[in-house]
Amino acid sequence: MVKLLRTNKLQKLSKVLVLVLSLSLFSCGQKENKDQQNGKFTFGVWTTADAKKSDADYSKEFKKYKDGGIDEVLINTQTDPKLLARLVPLAKKEGLKVHAWIMAMNRPNDSIALQHPDWYQVSKEGKSCFDNRPYVDYYQWLCPTKEESRNHVLGLVDGLAKVEGIESVHLDYIRFPDIFLPISLLPKYNLVQDVELPQFDFCYCDACVSKFEKEHHKNPKNSHNTSIDMEWKNFRLNAVKAVVDDAYKIAHKHNKKLTAAVFPYPEMADHMVRQRWDKWNIDEVYPMIYHSFYDEEIDWVGYATKQGVADLEGKPTKVNTGIYIPGLKSDAELKEAILLAKKNGATGVSFFDGNALSDSNLKTIATVKAAL
């Protein structure tokens, strides 16, 4: 009888201890999750550098961003590592993290690439981006399949990744030219794009065609309808992925991260620009959820963010929502866009671009950040 009572007391005591421990762990877990959320949600801005601008002017600009709630700057130095190395300590002194923003496959005015006309993408019409550029003159796209052109891009990534103090190499234009433009841009070019048009369909260079033929035993130029040829489409998606995956290895070799500006969500990026970023080896994506480009309302920022987060479920890749400042009607919409991004799973927001941010915008950002 004494043994039975003693056993019952021990069982009750064990249950109490388990309950206390569970509550303690739950409480710690809640605190940890809250701390993680507060620590992870970041505010960034894309900005293009000018080597002629003084250090003092840059320090002033960076301080303005920091005072306005900005945590990081994504700087386009036209892939100049020396200029980047000059700006990193100035930004860090003001408390900002720096990402090296690079135009990857689209390389306008690249003096080295321009010496090699065969490096450029070729349209289904047989015209090269070297001298026949789709949409705009700065669309000078290099082929992601041809060894020499992809190695050139990866060499530029390597040069930026070596710069001390940066957080990541940030890929932009890591895709093919737009097979479909955002709907609000079509009137600007007097275009109707109900189907894939041959002048905007890339790349049909010899390197792409021969590699595809070797893998799939057919020539895409002879396809009855390339828009529904899934092997040909997937071939190009994989060509971009291969460049990204190699860039990831390079960045991490130098203890840097790899990030990228991408189209709003994977299925949309796949459809519009041959870009399937949920399948990449990459640390963080910055989907450019520029709702005004697509004639969408502000709530679309939340929708597209949620879609991208869902497509990355189970992967370590983070989502940082890109917001287009000129597309906002007011500071109230700016606040709403930030909160929609956070509510739908983004770990931060970034604004395009620094020149577009008004004092009022920065005040709004700082206020929203303080309230999170």
CB 210: neighbour CB atoms within 10 A?
Answer: 12
Predicted structure pTM score: 0.90
pLDDT tens digits along 205-215: 999 999 999 99
Secondary structure of the chain: what % helix, strand, coil (to 5)?
Answer: 55, 15, 35
Asked if 246 and 173 count as a contact pair (C-beta separation under 8 A), the reply is: no
Asked if 269 and 227 count as a contact pair (C-beta separation under 8 A), the reply is: no
217: left (phi over 0), alpha (psi -120 to 50) or beta: left
Asked if 276 and 270 count as a contact pair (C-beta separation under 8 A), the reply is: yes
Measured distance between the N- and C-terminal CA atoms of the chain, rounded to whole angstroms: 59
Question: What is the C-alpha to C-alpha distance for residues 171 and 146, in angstroms, rounded to an integer?
Answer: 19
Domains detected in the chain? 42-370 (3.20.20.80)
Q: What is the pLDDT of residue 40?
A: 79
Question: What is the C-alpha to C-alpha distance for residues 31 and 193, in angstroms, rounded to an integer?
Answer: 51
Q: Which residues of the chain are modeled with pLDDT < 50?
A: 1-38
pLDDT tens digits along 118-146: 999 999 999 999 999 999 999 999 999 99
Q: Which two tokens stand for residue 151?
A: 């190695």
Compute the C-alpha angle 265/235/290, nearest 5°.
20
